């Protein structure tokens, strides 16, 4: 997991946003599969939600750094 976080921190803001959109789409598909009874691996939903939270946290950190850097 720490290895994944290192890779995410090295990504640009645009790449993080693209990854966030892709993961949100994946979560939507997983929820449809869950609703129709097709989903067999429920841990994928949990992983997708946590990945979205990670990406949103990193994007917020980047935004904070940009605003703090601009006001100095």
Per-residue pLDDT of the chain (72 residues; tens, 9 = 90+): 667 788 888 899 999 999 999 999 999 999 999 999 999 999 999 999 999 999 999 999 999 988 887 654
Global confidence as pTM: 0.86
> Look-up: residue for tokens 């693209």?
18
CA-CA distance, 37 to 50, in Å (whole number)?
A: 22
Q: Report yes or no: 55 and 16 within 8 Å, Cβ to Cβ.
A: yes
CA angle 30, 34, 35 (to 5 degrees): 120
Give the fold, CATH level 3, of 2-71.
Answer: Helix Hairpins (1.10.287)
Q: Which stretches of the chain are assigned E, i.e. beta strand? A: none
pLDDT in the model for residue 33: 96
Domain locations in the chain? 2-71
């Amino acid at each position: 997991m720490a290895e994944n976080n290192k890779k995410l921190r090295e990504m640009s803001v645009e790449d993080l946003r693209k990854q966030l959109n892709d993961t949100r789409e994946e979560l939507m598909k997983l929820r449809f599969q869950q609703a129709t009874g097709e989903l067999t691996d429920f841990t994928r939903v949990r992983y997708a939600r946590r990945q979205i939270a990670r990406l949103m946290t990193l994007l917020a950190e980047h935004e904070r750094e940009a605003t703090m850097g601009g006001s100095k």
